[in-house]
Structure 1
Amino acid sequence: MVREDGKRNFVMLEDGEKTRQFTGRMPRQAALKAARRLEGYDGYNSESAAKDNPTKIRLLERGTDRIHVYHAWAWMDDAPSDKPEWMEGEISTVTKGNVSKQEIEHLE
């Protein structure tokens, strides 16, 4: 269901359990947020290496029967040189993520 500000809520489904909620105007925006929070990608320093081992994520769109299915991967990268002040100091790497949409499932 779309909120007044145009954003939609998506819940990650893991083993049939609703685990975490992500918000975005489009399903891909929520999927990218979910990809950056995936575990097990700490050792990858390039997108190509991470892309070879994607994780399947399923996002249920709240208020509908649609489940958006993505292949997602994440990798560690150097923080940009123009990083904001709050990142100054100890933060030298950031997590980047990418997704590839596979299908849309419908709840029965």
Structure 2
Amino acid sequence: MTSTRNFVLRDEKGNEHGVFTGKQPRQAALKVANRGKGTKSKPQKIMLRERGTKKIHVFLGWRDKVAAPKNKPDWMPDKINKPFVKKEKIIKLDKI
């Protein structure tokens, strides 16, 4: 079993705010995309730095309203938000 890893959300200026966890960078990026304001026509740029490394994972993310699954619980609405991400690249930093 792989343990969870921590990823710090970065903005374009290099400021870091918010920690998202996941076993893979994509899992953390999906969490960011679900809270973000990106759309399919205008996706949000997501930059996640893995704690303890000098790697920044760059994704494009958005969310869409989709129909809930047929076996949904009673409390779930008919339309739900579903996040989507697409990996762009990995940037290696010289310094943290």
* TM-score bucket of the superposed structures, by smaller chain: 0.7 to 0.9
State how far apart, in whole Å, the 1-side matches of 2:79 and 2:61 are: 20
Letter of the 1:81 counterpart:
K
User: Which of these residues, 95, 99, 108, is aligned with residue 81 of structure 2?
Assistant: 95
Return the structure number with greater helix share.
1
User: 1:84: Cα distance to partner?
Assistant: 3.4
Structure 1 segments (4+ residues) deviating >4 Å: none
State how far apart, in whole Å, the 1-side matches of 2:88 and 2:52 are: 21
State how far apart, in whole Å, the 2-side matches of 1:55 and 1:100 are: 10
Which residue does the alignment assign to 2:17? 19
Letter of the 2:92 counterpart:
H
Secondary structure of 1:34 counterpart: helix
State how far apart, in whole Å, the 2-side matches of 1:74 and 1:35 are: 6
Number of residue pairs matched by the alignment? 93
Query: Which aligned pairs between 1:1-108 and structure 2 lie closer than 5 A?
Result: 6-14=3-11, 15-39=13-37, 41=38, 50-84=39-73, 88=75, 91-108=77-94
TM-score by length of 1: 0.74
Alignment RMSD (CA, Å): 2.0
State how far apart, in whole Å, the 2-side matches of 1:22 and 1:94 are: 21
